[in-house]
């Protein structure tokens, strides 16, 4: 959590630079094309193709494609892998102001099923 706090606080510190754009993975999963357009517009880039074509295949693990990751993160399936104790430990060390600035809500330990 210390590394997450430091890295993300430093990313937020770059917001004032014109050649910087903070993006969240969840936003990319929600709308890949809109995210690419946002990058293109922010940096005055030209599109390479007339039509957006999302990459569906993952290089991480067979069977885990774009649909899998979209479901896993946007439907918060990752919560099933956390115990209430893990959430308590994370929350004790989490810089809540950084999390909020990135648009993340702080999980309540009691919102996690006991494991």
Given a contact cutoff of 8 angstroms between Cβ atoms, the answer to whether 101 and 12 are in contact is yes
* Count of all residues that appear for the chain in the document: 115
Segment 39-68, tens digit of pLDDT: 999 999 998 888 999 989 988 888 899 999
Q: Kindly report the three-state secondary structure assignment for every residue of 17-84.
A: CCCCCCCCHHHHHHCHHHHHHHHHHHCCCCCCCCCCCCCCCCCCCCCCCHHHHHHHHHCCHHHHHCCH
Structure tokens given for 76: 């918060």
> What pLDDT band is residue 113 in, cutting at 50, 70 and 90?
low
Domain extent at residue 81: 2-111
Structure tokens given for 35: 């995210």
Count of structural domains within the chain: 1
């Amino acid at each position: 959590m210390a590394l997450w706090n430091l890295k993300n606080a430093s990313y937020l510190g770059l917001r004032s630079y014109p050649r910087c754009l903070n993006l969240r993975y969840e936003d990319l999963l929600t709308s890949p094309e809109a995210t690419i357009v946002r990058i293109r517009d922010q940096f005055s880039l030209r599109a390479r193709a007339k039509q957006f074509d999302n990459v569906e295949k993952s290089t991480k693990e067979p069977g885990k494609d774009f649909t899998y990751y979209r479901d896993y993160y946007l439907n918060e399936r990752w919560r099933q892998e956390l115990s209430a104790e893990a959430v308590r430990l994370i929350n004790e060390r989490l810089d809540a102001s950084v999390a909020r600035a990135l648009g993340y809500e702080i999980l309540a330990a009691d919102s996690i099923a006991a494991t």
